[in-house]
Structure 1
Amino acid sequence: MDAIQQQMLDTYRATRLGEVPPPLPGRHDWEAVRDARDHLRRGAAPARRPGGGKLRRAVNRLLGRRGEGGRGEPSPRTSHQVSPRP
C-alpha cells in the first residue's frame, strides 16, 4: 500500500467515525526539516563513536588507498612491487 492509498483509507475511517481527517502526506515535511536543523544549531551534535576514524584509516592504509583518511603511506602489500629493470 502506498502513501496515497493509506491516506484514502485513513480519511475514510475518520469520516466514518466522525473524527478530523489526517493531514495530507508530505504536508509537514519542511517543518520537520526545520526542526531538525534548529535542533542541530542549538548544539546537539550527532553522536560519534570514539576513535571511529582510526579504524577507517587503518583499513585504508592496508588497502593502499590514498586521500581517504589514510596518511598516504603505501601499504605493505604495495611496497613490494617490482620496479622496472634499468
Structure 2
Amino acid sequence: MSLTEQYLLDAHRALHHGEPVPPAPGTHDLRVLRALREHRRFRAVLAGRPARGRIRHALGRWLHPDPRATGRPRPRATGRPRLR
C-alpha cells in the first residue's frame, strides 16, 4: 500500500468515526528538518564545538591546506597564465 493510499484510508476512517483528519503526508517535513538542525546545533554547543559552519570549515581546511603547516613552499604568482 502506498503512502497516499494509507493516508486516504486513515482520512476515511477518521471521518466515519468523527475524529480529526490526520495531516497530509509531507505537511510537517520542513518543521521536522528545522527542529533536527536546531537540536544538532544545541548538542554541538553542549559538547564545546562550534554550532555553525563546522562542515564548511572542515572542507576548507581539506581543500585549501595551509602551506606553512605542510612544509611545502607557496606557489608564486607570475602574472602570466599557466599552460595546461
Q: TM-score, normalised by structure 2?
A: 0.51
Question: Separation in 1 of the partners of 2:6 and 2:27?
Answer: 15
Return 5+ residue gaps in structure 1 as ranges. Answer: 46-86
Tell me the equivalent position of 1:55: none
| Greater share of helix | 2
How far is the alpha carbon of 1:43 from its aligned partner?
2.0
Q: Which residue in 2 is equivalent to 1:36? A: 36
Q: Secondary structure at the match of 2:35?
A: helix
Identity of aligned residues (%): 44
In the alignment, the residues of structure 2 paired with residue 43 and residue 11 of structure 1 have an alpha-carbon distance, to the nearest angstrom, of 37
- Residue ranges of structure 2 left out of the alignment (5+ in a row): 48-84
Runs of 4+ in 1 over 3 A off after TM superposition: none
Considering only aligned residues, what root-mean-square deviation do their CA atoms show, in Å?
1.3
Shift of 1:42: 0.5
User: Does 2:17 match 1:17?
Assistant: yes
Q: 2:8 and 2:39 mapped to 1: Cα distance?
A: 33
Count of residue pairs brought into register by the alignment:
45
Q: Which amino acid aligns with 1:4?
A: T
TM-score by length of 1: 0.50
Q: Secondary structure at the match of 1:22?
A: coil
